[in-house]
Amino acid sequence: MVRKVYMVSGGVSKFTKARKDKTFQAIVKEAYDYTVSNLKIPRKEIHQRIEATTASYFSDHFTRQLMAGIMVQDYLGLIPKPSKRIEGGGATGGLNFQTAYESIASERFGLVLAYGFETMSHVNTWKGNEFIALASDVSFDYPVGGFYSGYYAQMCVRHMYEFGTTVEQLAYVSIKNHRNAMFNPYAQKSGRLTVQDVRKAQMVAWPLTRLDICVMSDGAAAVLLADEDTAFELTDTPIEITGVGTGTDAMRMADRPHKDVLLLPHEKTEDYIGERFVGGKLNYPGIHSFRAGRMAAIEAYKNAKITDPLKQIDFAEVHDAYTSSELQTIEDLGFCKYGESGKFTEEGNTFMPGIDYGLDLPKQGTIPVNPSGGLIACGHPVGATGLMQAVFAFWQLQGTIKKHFVAAGMSEEKASVLQLNNPKRGLIHSHAGTGTYVTVSILERPKDVEIVDQ
Amino acid sequence: MAIKKDPNAKLPEDWRNMPGTVVFNLPFPKEWEDDDLKGMQPIIIRFDYSISYHHSYGQDSPWFAAIANGELIGTKCPECGFTTANPKLACQECGAETKWVKLPKEGKLHSFTVCYFGAEKFLDETPYILGLIELEGVDTLLLTRILGLDPNEPSLDWIGMKMKAKFRKLSQLNPTDVYFVPAED
Ligand SMILES: [Zn+2]
């Protein structure tokens, strides 16, 4: 049995299109300073007590700098402590979070800082897309018209064909996440949108428009993880990491097989047999589902003893670089059955309770997905994203959303809108290109820890 | 032993061959406080970077030689039978060494998209259609360019259409040496 691991603090630099005022090291420093400034022990002492770090950033092309990780370590003043770089495409941040977890669970270290960053503004948007496309097979996929939006669009089209998912249902995800972000001072963009706004936006890769797709960002995030004794010494409201899971799949999405569904505890083989499926049985994962996401969920749920995710999880921060990937993901996570995410979303299940979205949502608030606004609205500085999700989930479970959002300049009234009522368990989900690496981590407020200012 | 000196050493005179951008007359105050310098606007330089790779297709090379000659081949696992359209000389299902097999040149459209934007390299080619082809007896799909359909009228009705492989007359030794068009019935 591994020992218990807790998250004790986190910080995020505000993600923006371009941070020309600072180098990546100094942007990470902002997230780090915030992380070590909110604890029971003075920052100077925590700085000394950090035993090791883990660093995540995705692309060496964006920085035009190899070994960028050590430059951050040295700028933060954490040399000569142990550190290493973690990389796995869009899941880089989530993998980093889990690496820091493992280093404490294994008893190698007791207090570990995980930091991540990406500065994507140093090249133009289309060159940036080219760099990202280099994260597809450069012999077989990239030369055919390498463009990640084009890859996800094909997955989305197949989801529509297999399950009858509509472009309006995709638009609901965009409306929800952009609207949630209006109450998150850290979000890169936000707004009240209608289905028409999303559909009338410029078409990028049919059927995905500009408002179905996240943008490039510069930003950093950091989290501090600790063993139990250290955690309670540093804060009265540590959040336990009760489960981690990771999955993988073929780099070329064309290589994904068509087999049987990997079932979660609450699913049955018969759920995926019948005339409503093309060919009488759901062929899995194909390109409509992310098998890596399902693998990650199976492992994380087993560790966290989750057998009925919809009932046992209070909210989730998931990868929504594309509206379609949020739909595909909530199926992988078992919030609804495969094929039902469009309807599940349209009914309002994944929306925040108590926010007016200008939509008729009969089942609003069952399991809020991306309360923060997700990647679509908060931005996706790849190496930081998975850690940003951890920070928002951590604040949510602590009950400190309001405190942190006010500190970031938001009015008291607006700053508490995204705080859920007494959430106990949250899920974070980080995902790399077309579902190659996926991580799922479960965060939970310990039973004897009271939520902060409710 | 005496240290050898080079009295003729000098910096390159031709500033045009120096990396980065040379800015003339960048102001710097004679008198300054810490805050003055911390309030300075960032200096942004341009840096060009280009490189030619000698990229080997390695064990996958026969696949490119085949499409350059109007043939489609893939790999099949002798142990579990798993067959792929893009080559994998080690089976992704069981790890055994696979064998090269001929593939049919006709198939069905499994999914597609129309790209109205793309990576910088492909921007000039927009709008273009990407598609995934199902081939009889093959367990995986083939990512390819689709020609012969109107990129301005994308429709889910395209899925399931019979498609046939066409091959570029002058090979570029790229996976785009093969592309698919609707097959006449
Ligand atoms: Zn095999």
State pTM to two decimals. Answer: 0.95
Pairwise CB contact (< 8 Å): B175 & A140 = yes
Q: Domain ranges for chain B, please list them.
A: 58-182
Nearest to A440 by CA among A431, A432, A448: A431
Question: What residues in B contact A256, CB-CB < 8 Å?
Answer: 140-141
Tens digit of pLDDT at every position of chain A (454 positions): 579 999 999 999 989 999 989 999 999 999 999 999 989 999 999 999 999 999 999 999 998 899 999 999 999 999 999 999 999 999 999 999 999 999 999 999 999 999 999 999 988 888 888 899 999 999 999 999 889 999 999 999 999 999 999 999 999 999 999 999 999 999 999 999 999 999 999 999 999 999 999 999 999 999 999 999 999 999 999 999 999 999 999 999 999 999 999 999 999 999 999 999 999 999 999 999 999 999 999 999 999 999 999 999 999 999 999 999 999 999 999 999 999 999 999 999 999 999 999 999 999 999 999 999 999 999 999 999 999 999 999 999 999 999 999 999 999 999 999 999 999 999 999 999 999 999 999 999 999 999 996 5
Residue of B nearest to A22 (CA): B42
In angstroms, the separation between the Cα of residue A64 and the nearest Cα of chain B is 9
DSSP string, B104-125: -SEEEEEEEEEESS--GGGGGG
Pairwise CB contact (< 8 Å): B42 & A255 = no
Question: Do A9 and A224 form a contact (C-beta atoms < 8 A)?
Answer: yes
Q: Cα separation of A55 and A114, whole Å? A: 6
Report which secondary-structure segment, H or E, holds B61. Answer: helix B61-68
End-to-end CA distance of chain A: 35
- Amino acid (1-letter code) at residue A132: I
Q: Cα separation of A118 and B102, whole Å? A: 44
Chain A residues 147-176 with CB within 8 Å of chain B: 147, 149-151, 153-158, 160-161
Pairwise CB contact (< 8 Å): A139 & B119 = no
Residue of B nearest to A141 (CA): B143
Pairwise CB contact (< 8 Å): A252 & B176 = no
Question: Backbone phi, then psi, for A298, in 5-degree steps?
Answer: -55, -45
Q: Cα separation of B16 and B21, whole Å? A: 9
pLDDT of residue A246: 98
Mutate to test the interface with A, among B115, B124, B128, B155 (most CBs of A within 10 A): B115
Q: Any chain A CB within 8 A of the CB of B103? A: no
Of A129, A133, A157, the CB nearest to B113: A157
Question: Backbone phi, then psi, for A22, in 5-degree steps?
Answer: -140, 155
The contacts of residue B30 (CB under 8 Å, 6+ apart) are none
Nearest to A296 by CA among A102, A427, A148, A392: A427
Question: Backbone phi, then psi, for A411, in 5-degree steps?
Answer: -65, 150
pLDDT of residue B21: 54
Pairwise CB contact (< 8 Å): B42 & A21 = yes
Q: Cα separation of B131 and B133, whole Å? A: 6
Q: Are strands A83-86 and A52-56 parallel, antiparallel or unpaired?
A: parallel
Q: Any chain A CB within 8 A of the CB of B49? A: yes
Tell me the per-residue pLDDT of B47-106, one tens digit each, with 9 for 90 and over: 888 889 999 999 999 999 999 999 999 999 999 999 999 999 999 999 999 999 999 999
Question: Do A118 and A58 form a contact (C-beta atoms < 8 A)?
Answer: yes
pLDDT of residue A228: 98
Mutate to test the interface with A, among B92, B113, B150 (most CBs of A within 10 A): B113
Q: Tell me the two tokens of residue A119.
A: 């500065």
**In which residue are the tokens 């009295």 written?**
B7
Mutate to test the interface with B, among A60, A62, A140 (most CBs of B within 10 A): A140
Of B119, B154, B156, the CB nearest to A161: B156
Reported confidence tier of residue B120, pLDDT bands at 50, 70, 90: confident
Question: Do B145 and B110 form a contact (C-beta atoms < 8 A)?
Answer: no
Of B49, B118, B132, the CB nearest to A145: B118
**Between B15 and B9, the higher pLDDT residue:** B9
Chain B residues 114-173 with CB within 8 Å of chain A: 114-123, 125, 128, 130-132, 139-145, 154, 156, 159
Catalogue all structural domains in chain A, each as residue range(s) with its CATH number: 5-125+219-226 (3.40.47.10), 137-213+243-444 (3.40.47.10)
Pairwise CB contact (< 8 Å): A150 & B115 = yes
Q: Any chain A CB within 8 A of the CB of B51? A: no
Over the range A34-61, which residues count as b (16 or more CB within 10 Å of their CB) and which as e? bbbebbeeeeeebeeebbbbbbbbbbeb
Of B44, B121, B131, the CB nearest to A20: B44
The ipTM value here is 0.95
Q: Cα separation of A453 and B162, whole Å? A: 62
